[in-house]
Amino acid sequence: MEPFLVSGQGTGAVDLLNVSKGEKFVFVLKGRAGLLFNSHQLELNEGDGIYLDSSLRCQLSSSDGGEVSIVALVAR
């Protein structure tokens, strides 16, 4: 597993790692995160997590324009 700390602020979106095989777990450490994948939008709050197939392209953004920090664990 490879851990990644991703932090940001504002309304811009960040592409999360996409690999052909494997899984990823995204956990929100701080703030409110919007996660867009396969045309689905999820709102995640501090303490929320989601488990995804790594082949899914997904984007992370701050839901409210404030600071957001997540940990993404990627298993290939």
* Residue extents of the structural domains in the chain: 2-75
State the chain's mean pLDDT as an integer: 84
Whole-number pLDDT of residue 39: 84
Whole-number pLDDT of residue 63: 84
CA–CA dist 21, 13 (Å, integer): 23
Strands 67-75 and 40-44: unpaired
For residue range 10-22, what is the model confidence (pLDDT) as tens digits? 777 776 656 557 8
Alpha carbon 10 to chain centroid distance? 15
Read off the pLDDT band of 47 (50, 70, 90).
Answer: very high
- What is the reported pTM? 0.83
- Residue with the larger pLDDT of the pair 57 and 33: 33
Q: Which CATH architecture has domain 2-75?
A: Sandwich (2.60)
